[in-house]
Amino acid sequence: MFDTLVEIASWPVQLVWAQVAVSPSSRYFWPYIVGGAMIACFAWRFGRATFYTEAKKPAYWLGASARVDYAHVVLNPIIKILLFTGLITAAGALGQNAIGAAPPKPHAWAYAAALTLALFVADDFMRFFTHWLMHKVPIFWSFHRVHHAAESMTFATADRSHFAEMAFVTLPLVMTYAVVNAAFIVFTGIETQPFAVAGANIFLVAFNVVGGAFRHAPMWVSFGPMLERWLISPAMHHVHHSARPIHFDKNMGGTLAIWDRLFGTHYIPAGAHELSRGVGLGSDGKALKSVAGALLEPFGHAVRTLMPHRNTSNPNAGRPS
């Protein structure tokens, strides 16, 4: 009995540790932390990285916003297992049925490389598009607000997402993988596997190694304006969280910046001074400062967006101006 209780109590710790030690699909995977730190040091050497002064204070890491971040780090993996196991299993089945069980053909490495690139580009676009919808469609914004309510960047902010949003993001990605895999087989007749590291697309792994883990770090890390025309830097994502109206709905891409350029949401910041007003939602995020509020309040907000007397033409109407 005691062993069972210990196992149950340690489950959240095991889930978090798995993200750090063995999961390339997690932003906390240790090579991403090491790689991001090296890039940050390189950027600092050339004046393109700044550690936020506020992050030197214990209150930054122990405040209400940070505590909500930490709660999501523990709760979200559990919620994924309890609520999304069937969806994830279905995703695996769809992918397996599409690509077949045959191992890659020795001479088909070029096809594998093409499939790897196609899956990466399709995945990156779908992540951008679902993110764009979460900002533009009021009922989706109700749940995405949880992520934007963070008033500090703590690394753990990356996991600060409402479970309803996770469901909305997962289903389009599942469909995207299935369609790309099926289309590849139909048009090439080749059964192959994409290049991956423990199931994670090798292009996404490469991007995470050079800065993906620092998208929500307590420091400004810029790639410089030339690279930021093509790649989303941590600094560009910090602008996405900015409390300044000029930054609202900017830089919604995950890895590639080309989608933001096509949709007119691309913004290259001049420097860390652009975050003079900090990050977060101001008064609109007040109800999301507790764990219970972050989990429950979005449902009420979503219902209110459906009421006919509400003006929902601007999902960001409640953000600070």
The DSSP string of 123-155 is HHHHHHHHHHHHHHSHHHHHHHHHHHT-SS--S
pLDDT digits (tens, 9 = 90+) for 57-83: 899 999 999 999 988 888 887 777 776
Q: How many CA atoms lie within 13 A of 312 on its CB side?
A: 18
pLDDT digits (tens, 9 = 90+) for 13-72: 555 555 555 666 777 777 778 877 888 887 888 788 888 888 888 999 999 999 999 888
Q: What does the block give as tokens for 98? A: 């599409």
The DSSP string of 8-40 is HHHHHHHHHHHHHHT-TTSTT-HHHHHHHHHHH
* The model's pTM: 0.83
Of the candidates 14, 142, 31, 143, the one whose C-alpha atom is nearest the C-alpha of residue 73 is: 14
Tens digit of each residue's pLDDT, the chain (321 residues): 545 544 545 555 555 555 555 666 777 777 778 877 888 887 888 788 888 888 888 999 999 999 999 888 888 877 777 766 655 555 555 555 544 444 445 456 777 788 889 989 999 999 999 999 999 999 999 999 999 999 999 988 988 999 899 888 888 888 888 888 778 777 777 667 777 666 677 788 888 887 778 899 999 999 999 999 999 999 999 999 999 999 999 999 999 999 999 999 999 998 888 888 888 888 788 889 899 999 999 999 999 988 876 554 445 544 543
Residue 238 to residue 251: CA distance in whole angstroms: 9
Residue 187 to residue 302: CA distance in whole angstroms: 42
